[in-house]
């Protein structure tokens, strides 16, 4: 059981770092005007994701709910 808890904490930590990198990419792209090495196209990909969710009606709304659930602060069970 301890191994499972350790694995969960590693996955949670990696996910948190990934979300921080996404936030950094958005801020860096907005400040630098769009072309930032390593973060190239992050804002464009987010805009495309929002467009796709908007054109898919109920399925897009469900996907948006799932994405928001992923971004919400949760404790590791």
Provide the pLDDT for residue 7. 92
Mean residue pLDDT of the chain comes to: 79
- Helix axes of 42-55 and 57-71: crossing angle, nearest 10 degrees: 140
CA angle 77, 49, 43 (to 5 degrees): 95
Q: How far apart are CA 49 and CA 51, in angstroms?
A: 5
DSSP 34: S
Q: What is the pLDDT of residues 4-33, one digit of tens each?
A: 889 988 988 898 888 888 888 878 877 877
């Amino acid at each position: 059981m301890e191994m499972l808890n350790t694995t969960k904490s590693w996955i949670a930590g990696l996910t948190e770092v990934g979300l921080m990198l996404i936030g950094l990419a958005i801020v860096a792209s907005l400040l630098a005007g769009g072309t930032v090495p390593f973060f190239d196209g992050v804002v464009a990909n987010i805009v495309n994701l929002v467009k796709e969710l908007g054109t898919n009606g109920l399925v897009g709304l469900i996907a948006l709910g799932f994405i928001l659930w992923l971004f919400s602060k949760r404790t590791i069970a």
